[in-house]
Amino acid sequence: MDTRSLDRLGDEIAELSAHLDAATARLLDLIREFDARGGWNTGFRSCAAWLSWRVGLAPGAAREHVRVAHALGTLPRLAQALARGELSYAKVRALTRVATPETEERLLAVGRAGTAEHVERIVRGWRRVDRQAEARESARQHASRALHVYPDADGTVILRGRLTPDVGALLMQALAAARETLYQQDRAKEPEGDPPTMVQQQADALALLAETALHHGIDPGAPGERYQVVVHVDADVLADADQPGQSVLEDGARVPAGTSQRLACDASRVVMRHAPDGQVVEVGARTRTIPPALRRALHHRDRGCRFPGCGVRFGQGHHIRHWAQGGPTTLSNLAVLCRRHHRAVHEEGYQLDRQPNGELRFRRPDGQLLPEVPPPREVRGDPVKILRAQHDAEGLVLNARTTTPGWLGERLNVGWAIDVLHPLAR
């Protein structure tokens, strides 16, 4: 056995791995910038979905790349160690699950001293302490929840309370929606004088929430009726968004014709005939736009959203040529789209058609084709030589010892390590 040649082979593997880790650092920088600038927002629901489609990463790996990229944006020491090839991507990926700017330096020492297995074991122990502390804090918050409501001497009612974070977020969203209804949508109708302050708007919004709850009842029927959205739209508008006519919700709020077309793609349909004076003269029976048997066949065929790079399992039936424009409700004229991409096709300018061979073709609003699988980029030349030349030009010196940990073979005591390293460990 030629041990020298094997040693050289091992050194080449180690050195090339260091080059790949340094290149990965640059890749993560690019991903972070691309995500921050919304470069993936061309019909894709996230940067990870775009990476899965464009680069060929598995969905889980794509999500991890985005997560690590953002984490390194606040962890400069770990980012620099990866860029210099001193830590492997596997170690950095594990450390970014628990590292904060306050604990980054001590965890960097863990990465330099231990193997990837050591790092994983310490991170698992670290997260266990974090989860215990988090559980204690969550239990404390839940136990301290309270709402005090009592009348004051002048007849006004005073509220004081404390809510858990999730319930508090729910209340804040509801108050924001109520404020929008009261003050943002009807600014032209506001009385003259000083507008209400924010705290006054909050009080009015809470009153609207209470009135709405009492008006509709706390439990208004079955879930199917509770979450039903009714849209009234003229047949001419449904067939052509440029035609005049109504497209309104049950409460009279207008919605774009494109929204009505999207909702009508896969919904229950009731046809009403009106007299010239607006009176209803005939009401048809409620029917499903897509019959149940056809829906089952559609979902069995498409297995989820057909938009390139999506694949969300649950979606809506989309008429490629809308039924209001004469399109048939047949399997060949239907495709499953998730809610996000159904909206993209109807209201954001994306285009979808089916080719003679049965394949679907998607286009962006600018007309650019979105292929199901993008063509790979051609790499001209030896990629290893290109990578080494680039790092040499940057003054980055990498060798077979760059990523070697400081471990000397001693047994890892995870409990002792966590006690020493974790700020919350006892």
Q: In this predicted structure, what is the pLDDT of residue 184?
A: 65
Q: In this predicted structure, what is the pLDDT of residue 165?
A: 76
Ordered DSSP codes for 31-49: HHHHHHTTTTTTT-SSHHH
More confident residue, 56 or 78: 78
DSSP reduced 3-state for 115: coil
Does residue 46 surpass a pLDDT of 80? Answer: yes
CB 342 within 8 A of CB 320: no
Q: List the single range of 69-83, 191-205, 362-376 with lowest mean pLDDT.
A: 191-205
* Mean pLDDT score, 300-319: 86
Tens-digit pLDDT profile for residues 127-148: 888 777 767 777 788 888 999 9
* Mean pLDDT score, 306-325: 85
Q: In this predicted structure, what is the pLDDT of residue 188?
A: 46
Q: For residues 51 and 49, give the distance between their C-alpha atoms in angstroms, rounded to a whole number.
A: 5
Q: In this predicted structure, what is the pLDDT of residue 232?
A: 77
Q: For residues 250 and 225, give the distance between their C-alpha atoms in angstroms, rounded to a whole number.
A: 13
Of 353, 266, 268, the C-alpha closest to 315 is 266
CB atoms within 10 A of CB 230: 12
Does residue 193 surpass a pLDDT of 70? Answer: no
Q: For residues 274 and 282, give the distance between their C-alpha atoms in angstroms, rounded to a whole number.
A: 7
Ordered DSSP codes for 273-316: EE-TTS-EEEEPPPEESS-HHHHHHHHHHH-S--STT---SS-E
157: left (phi over 0), alpha (psi -120 to 50) or beta: beta
Give the dihedral of Cα atoms 7, 12, 17, 23; nearest 10 deg.
160
Tens-digit pLDDT profile for residues 209-244: 887 877 666 554 444 444 456 777 777 777 776 677
Q: In this predicted structure, what is the pLDDT of residue 272?
A: 74
316-319 vs 334-337, strand pairing mode: antiparallel
Q: In this predicted structure, what is the pLDDT of residue 222?
A: 44
More confident residue, 155 or 281: 155
Q: In this predicted structure, what is the pLDDT of residue 257?
A: 76
Tens-digit pLDDT profile for residues 331-361: 999 999 988 888 889 888 899 999 988 899 9
What percentage of the chain has pLDDT greater than the value 70?
Answer: 88
Return phi, psi of residue 355, to 5°: -80, 165
| Residue whose tokens read 């980029």 | 377
CA 42 from centroid of its chain's CA atoms: 14
Alpha helix locations (H) across 2-115? Answer: 3-36, 47-54, 59-72, 76-83, 89-95, 104-113
Q: For residues 97 and 60, give the distance between their C-alpha atoms in angstroms, rounded to a whole number.
A: 15
The interaxial angle of helices 59-72 and 47-54, nearest 10 deg, is: 130
Q: For residues 204 and 221, give the distance between their C-alpha atoms in angstroms, rounded to a whole number.
A: 27
* Mean pLDDT score, 97-106: 92
Q: In this predicted structure, what is the pLDDT of residue 384?
A: 79
Q: In this predicted structure, what is the pLDDT of residue 213?
A: 79
Does residue 116 surpass a pLDDT of 60? Answer: yes
More confident residue, 416 or 189: 416
Q: How confident is the model at residue 423 (pLDDT cuts 50, 70, 90)?
A: confident
Of 11, 25, 8, the C-alpha closest to 86 is 25
Strand-pairing partners, residue 336, are: 317
CB 328 within 8 A of CB 239: no
Q: For residues 275 and 325, give the distance between their C-alpha atoms in angstroms, rounded to a whole number.
A: 23
Q: In this predicted structure, what is the pLDDT of residue 320?
A: 92
Q: How confident is the model at residue 284 (pLDDT cuts 50, 70, 90)?
A: low
Q: For residues 54 and 40, give the distance between their C-alpha atoms in angstroms, rounded to a whole number.
A: 10
Using CB atoms within 10 A of its CB, is residue 97 exposed (0-12), middle (13-18) or buried (19+)?
middle
More confident residue, 133 or 111: 111
